[in-house]
Amino acid sequence: MTVNATGGGPVLRIDGAEPLSAASVEAVLALCDAAEDHHGPGVAALRVCGAPDASFPRELSVGLVSKWERAVRRLERLPMLTVAVASGDCGGAALDVLTAADVRVAVTGTRLLIASDGEAAWPGMALHRLAQQAGTAWTRKAVLLGAPIEAEEALALHLIDTVVDDPAATLAAFAGRAYAGTELAIRRQLIVDAGTTTFEDALGAHLAACDRALRRGAAR
């Protein structure tokens, strides 16, 4: 995993075929640091590909998995739009990050793969995100049968937002109109909470966000 910075924001490259390690965690945290320090238009770009082989999950510990999941959770809450571009087979750490991104772009021919520990699907938080995003009925079938998810099927299930031949142009279009900041993170959280809260419970948070927006507008 590597992190690069461009004028449009930080870029993280993740190969799901690489074993999960402390360096994997540090790479995600480095992108989060860069995104939180970014001002103006741009996106945090996530280039994901690769899937674990049959030796997964070698040399993993619960402590390392916990650090990884917390890093991905921080990525999921960034005050910056995250856009993931997936290509080829995509599983393991690559799938974790893909399912945590705001916008998911797949290159034609991409397949999503759910990693196995040799007996069953790996029980990481990607399963939680897949169930939230695609529904429990579909996720049950995909996880228990372990079949690859083709790009067009992922598109129909809203796991992928678009399938393209030229992801660079799509990424540039998002980078030119997206702004980073706390307000973006607040709007994202309101959307996420809508799936688990009633109108009455959500009203206070939405009114607080409206009040914040009005105060910011008056200050400008």
Q: Are strands 2-6 and 9-15 parallel, antiparallel or unpaired?
A: antiparallel
Q: Quick check: helix, strand or coil at residue 175?
A: helix
pLDDT (tens digit, 9 = 90+) per residue, 77-129? 999 999 999 999 999 999 999 999 999 999 999 999 998 888 889 999 999 99
Give the contacts of 87 (CB within 8 A, at least 6 positions apart): 47, 48, 49, 106, 107, 109, 110, 167
pLDDT digits 0-9 by tens, 130-176 = 998 998 888 888 888 888 899 999 999 999 999 999 888 888 877 76
pTM of this structure:
0.87
